[in-house]
């Protein structure tokens, strides 16, 4: 059996989604009506922070949080909202954007080059502190 490359999956996803660059994403961020979705692991958020006002959606929970029939549903995934998905570099968010579109969300954009580029461009970041027990 041949394993399909994760990079092939990302490239296929990119053919089916719309992406947005930093400059245009920053405009939408400043308008305050677009929901930014951070798909990274919690340890990544703790290390680098997140885009100001973004919602953290662990990649493994995305489908469950989008589906209104799921007990894990989050109401901010109302299909009327506009979303920008991001991760560190854009790979996970490309796959996640494709999944969200397949599930019925309409206004989903993928942040090109992820939060890594956002930070380089001096986009607003908020620090995250994880409570340790």
Residue 116 has pLDDT above 90, yes or no: yes
Residue 105 has pLDDT above 70, yes or no: yes
pLDDT band at 78 (very low <50, low <70, confident <90, very high): confident
Q: Which two three-digit tokens encode residue 6?
A: 């994760």
pLDDT tens-place string over residues 12-60: 999 999 999 999 999 999 999 999 999 999 999 999 999 999 999 999 9
pLDDT tens-place string over residues 81-102: 899 999 999 999 999 999 999 9
Residue 110 has pLDDT above 70, yes or no: yes
Give 33: exposed, middle or buried? Use CB within 10 Å, 0-12, 13-18, 19+.
exposed
Give me the domains of the chain, ranges plus CATH numbers: 16-123 (3.40.250.10)
Number of Cβ atoms within 10 Å of the Cβ of 19? 18
> Alpha helix locations (H) across the chain?
6-16, 22-31, 42-48, 62-66, 91-103, 114-120
For the whole model, what pTM was predicted? 0.93
Sign of the Cα torsion 79, 84, 86, 89 reads positive
């Amino acid at each position: 059996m041949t394993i399909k490359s994760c990079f092939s999956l990302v490239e296929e996803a990119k053919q089916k989604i719309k992406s947005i660059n930093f400059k245009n994403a920053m405009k939408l961020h400043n308008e305050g009506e677009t929901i930014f979705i951070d798909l990274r692991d919690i340890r990544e958020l703790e290390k680098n922070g997140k885009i100001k006002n973004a919602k953290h959606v662990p990649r493994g929970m995305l489908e469950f949080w989008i589906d209104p029939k799921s007990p894990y549903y989050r109401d901010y995934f109302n299909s009327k909202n506009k979303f920008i998905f991001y991760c560190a570099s854009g790979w996970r968010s490309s796959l996640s954007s494709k999944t969200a579109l397949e599930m019925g969300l309409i206004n989903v954009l993928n942040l090109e080059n992820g939060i890594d580029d956002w930070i380089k461009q001096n986009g607003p970041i908020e620090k995250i502190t994880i409570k340790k027990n």
